[in-house]
Amino acid sequence: MSEVTVTLPDGSTLEMDEGASVEDVAFEIGPGLGRDTVAGVVDGELVDKHAPIEADVDVEIVTESADEYLDVLRHSAAHVFAQALERLYPEAKLTIGPWTDDGFYYDIAGVDLDEDDLEAIEAEAHDIIEADLDIERDMVPREDAFDRYEDNRFKREILDDEAAGEDPVQFYQQGEFYDLCQGPHVESTGEIGGFSLLEISGAYWRGEEDNEMLTRVYGTAFPSEDDLEEYLEQRRKAQERDHRKIGQEMDLFSIDETTGPGLPLYHPNGKTILNELSDYVAGLNRQNDYREVETPHVFRTELWKKSGHYENYVDDMFLLDVNDEEYGLKPMNCPGHATIFDQGQWSYRDLPVRYFEDGKVYRKEQRGELSGLSRVWSFTIDDGHLFVRPDQIEDEVEAIIDIILDILDTFQLDYTVQFATRPDKSVGSDEIWERAESQLESVLEGADMEYVVEDGDGAFYGPKIDFAFEDALGRDWDGPTVQLDFNMPERFDLTYVGEDNEEHRPVMIHRALYGSYERFFMVLTEHYNGKFPTWLAPEQVRILPISDDHIPYAEEIKRELEDYRVTIEERSWTVKKKIRQAHEDLVPYMLILGDDEESEGTISVRDRKEREANDVDPTAFRAHLDDEVGAQRTEPDFLDD
């Protein structure tokens, strides 16, 4: 019998018989580890502990203390849900039920469920957990597997596709319940300490819109009830801050099925915020010698083939047939910027060349994956592309990171940083990759930044630095990125004339300061819980005349503040109701005007923190607004003293 080499996380190796299991590897390391083994990670993939090892691989052993244990537990929780469902609804047809970052889901057909049904299913699931049923792996002859699913075409399709050629086929069984599954799973249902069903939605079979619509039930699970309660409280807070809820309440944006899924409509309030964000970042670009360009929304697909996006993104592109030619809505802005650079003639003295564009792009995500502004079909990238000499990489990346840090400081967002290195499949020489990675790492070290190295997670065209925003609830969201690209200049045959009068290939740097406006808008909406800083707020000041008699004075004050977004509350309400409504609308400042204010030529200022000052000189308030908005401070601070 031939042997295979197993490389462990510490770099040590073991020689094992070909076909040995992950569990065998664990016992080879030590009997205690073997007994504690729940699953394994083989070449980065989470697998059953019984999975055979057929070639030289990297192996990690998963025990209850490993990060991956939660994924295994939640996979088992999905089976608990399915078992409870079948007990209450024998007619249900199970399809697939994977774990997710937050829990699990199971897609089902043949039964009509709504949110009210989840309570009874969850109660049955708790009975199954309490019974502490053993979860056992069972290898079933292929023919018998088809017989088991004689009336379930979804499982038979899985047998034909994902499990094609397998004989026997792997199942897992607990009590009377069995499910076709690759695993891994915990030893028994009793290991699930906290279990909850969360919500119901629709999902197309295999995510394809032409397929049948299924019912998707989401749930979550944890090793303990305390862990579950902590998660549910965090989820409740997240729902309160949900940008979709706040967006509707503040009239910021909408997504209407009649106009198309994943296509946001920005209302005047939302567009006001977008304009402020765009003006802010455009100012930063111009201060750093970027030149603004604009590219069309659609190109002939010849461009996408030239850039390499067609072969990588064609399934996610919106394609059009125009006069027997194929066009595609752009999924990226970079090919257009590369084309602009290519149409010039450049000397080494001209570099770096820096372009920026708020470029609208389109990606055809599966409808089941669309979610508010976090995942859409149409979004805008605050894109920048730089064309630099290899010796300029470090200085340019350092300058980009300085801009990103300014932005993070302005919005007071916490963040984490990942440095992604060369993947197995890549373009470019060893020398240029080593130099580029060294330069990126040197920038991070020089900035004294904490970062995590993600080995092999770079783009095929170059290494990158990614920033993730951490919002007020501690959730991470993809944000700014800096990426080196050796591929696009090669594909477009981009050149500049060097000091030696020979042609040389520039390096292209991709960078986004927000990431995308949609994702950043979502992050800010939830981070601030709708209480946008005064400089961003759609309505910065609301004037509240105590009676209609004070409206003329209110109009005079509004003219004094004409550079700001000011409204007058003219409805015939009591001043108390006007104040309450302004607070509910999250307006940063309210100006209350009555007889005393008008006679003295003053204003009473109230902020959304319910602080108030009387006898304020309107000129002094205007001067403060100039200062607060100009400095882009995150909270109304006129009444801080």
Which residues fall in the annotated binding site for Zn(2+)? 334, 385, 510
168: cis peptide before it, omega within 30°?
yes
Q: Please choose, from the candidates 565, 96, 588, 507, the residue with its C-alpha nearest in 3D space to the C-alpha of residue 341.
A: 507
Question: Starting at the edge strand that comes first in sequence, how are the strands of the sheet with 39-42 ordered?
Answer: 13-17, 3-7, 57-62, 39-42, 45-48
Residue spans of beta strands (DSSP E) within 147-278 = 169-174, 177-180, 194-204, 213-222, 253-254, 265-266
> Which has the closest alpha carbon to 16: 46, 42, 45, 35?
42
Do residues 295 and 333 touch, judged by C-beta distance below 8 A? yes
Structure tokens at 139: 């290898």
CA distance 2 to 56: 11
- DSSP class of residue 461 equals T
Distance CA 323, CA 317 (A): 19
Q: Indicate the length of the chain as a whole number.
A: 641
Per-residue tokens: 593 = 């005007």
- The residues, ordered by sequence, that sit 6+ positions from 66 with a Cβ below 8 Å of its Cβ are 38, 60
C-alpha–C-alpha distance, residues 181 and 163, integer Å: 10
* Residue in the structure block whose two tokens are 């707020």: 537
565-601 in b/e form (b: 16+ CB < 10 A) is bbbbbeeeeebeebbebbeebbbbbbbbbbeebbeee
Question: Tokens 């069972």 sit at which residue?
Answer: 138
Binding site feature residues: 334, 385, 510
Cβ(377)–Cβ(313) under 8 Å? no
CB 128 within 8 A of CB 80: yes
Distance separating alpha carbons of residues 461 and 312, to the nearest angstrom: 13
Rounded to a whole number of angstroms, the distance between the first and last alpha carbons of the chain is: 81
Residue in the block written with tokens 């350092």: 398
Helix (H) or strand (E) holding 281: helix 268-287
The Cα–Cα gap between 107 and 244 comes to 25
Task: Please state whether beta strands 39-42 and 45-48 pair in parallel, antiparallel, or not at all (unpaired).
Answer: antiparallel
CA atoms of 256 and 266, how far apart (whole Å): 11
Name the β-bridge partners of 362: 378
Specify the 3-state DSSP secondary structure of 186: coil
